[in-house]
Amino acid sequence: GRQGCQIDFEHVSFSYEGASGEPVLKNINLTCLPGETIGIIGSTGSGKSSLVNLIPRFYDVSSGSIRVDGVDTQELDPAKLRDRIAIVPQKSILFSGTIEENLLWGNEHASREEIMQAANMAEAHSFIAAFPEGYETMLGQRGVNLSGGQKQRLSIARALIRKPDVLILDDCTSALDTTTETNIKESLKSFASGVTCLLIAQRITSVMDADKIVVMDDGEIVGIGTHEALMKSCRVYVEIFQS
């Protein structure tokens, strides 16, 4: 079976190339244990997306290091590294083609059964099946129009089909109602048991049951803990909770 990776951030700082001023991430220290679900919360611009985008090396750290299962990612073949990590971005990236072609992007070897299983877990199967052409339905300019929430569910299904060791959801449930979001999270619990999961969210309710929650503020981690612990100890967290 799949095994989650351990991810260690050690004294990581990061600036975008050519950008002046304060680094976007400052002295990040964080350990994600294999199989853990880690919620990441913080105001807009606090660095949440930048933090997770460093893991598959979409960008390289400016200083410090990120280790995956003990190996510095700078020493890993990026393609091999990315093979183990699925990121669902904030904005879904779908192309002109059938729903199935879109879902298979990143793992063209999956069977129809695996595709349907993933779609089911992402709460996408029933709306796909409701189209006359089902998984053969065309998306894009000459195809059907999907709602933002439907696109998000397809992106999540696409990530699950890849059977990653690390699953990163970058604020991709914002267009979903809370029931759909809860159902997806329930399915993920069984699917993703053993998968290291990083979950960026706007709403505290989206990350409340994570193993630990990371609170970001202005490029820094200002709190790591459970919901209960952060409610007692982290001012920024309480402010987000109350907003």
Sign of CA dihedral 68, 71, 75, 77: negative
Stretch that binds ligand DGT, among 42-50, 79-87, 110-118, 157-165 (CB under 6 A): 42-50
Stretch that binds ligand DGT, among 47-55, 127-135, 151-159, 229-237 (CB under 6 A): 47-55
Task: Considering the complex, state which of residue 4 and residue 47 has its C-beta at the smaller distance from ligand DGT.
Answer: 47
Task: Considering the complex, state which of residue 28 and residue 86 has its C-beta at the smaller distance from ligand DGT.
Answer: 28
**What tokens does 163 get?**
């059977």
Question: Which residues, in sequence order, are CB contacts of 180 under 8 Å at separation 6+?
Answer: 123, 149, 153, 173
58 lines the binding site for ligand DGT (CB under 6 A): no
Rounded Cα gap, residues 9 and 167, in angstroms:
17
Q: Decide the pairing of beta strands 37-42 and 166-170.
A: unpaired
84 in Cβ contact with 24 (< 8 Å): no
Site for ligand DGT, residues 123 to 162, rule: CB under 6 A:
none
Among 35, 47, 164, 223, binds ligand DGT (CB under 6 A): 47
Task: Considering the complex, state which of residue 99 and residue 230 has its C-beta at the smaller distance from ligand DGT.
Answer: 230
Among 39, 42, 149, 164, binds ligand DGT (CB under 6 A): 42
Sequence length of the chain is: 243
14 lines the binding site for ligand DGT (CB under 6 A): no
Nearest to 172 by CA among 93, 101, 118, 95: 93
Per-residue burial over 90-102, b = 16 or more CB atoms within 10 Å of its CB, e = otherwise: eebebeeebbbbb
16 lines the binding site for ligand DGT (CB under 6 A): yes
The DSSP output letter for 104 is T
Which residues share a beta bridge with 41?
A: 215
Task: Considering the complex, state which of residue 24 and residue 240 has its C-beta at the smaller distance from ligand DGT.
Answer: 24
Task: Considering the complex, state which of residue 123 and residue 170 has its C-beta at the smaller distance from ligand DGT.
Answer: 170
Among 37, 46, 173, 187, binds ligand DGT (CB under 6 A): 46
Among 12, 28, 35, 49, binds ligand DGT (CB under 6 A): 49
Contact set with ligand DGT (CB under 6 A): 16, 19, 24, 42, 44-50
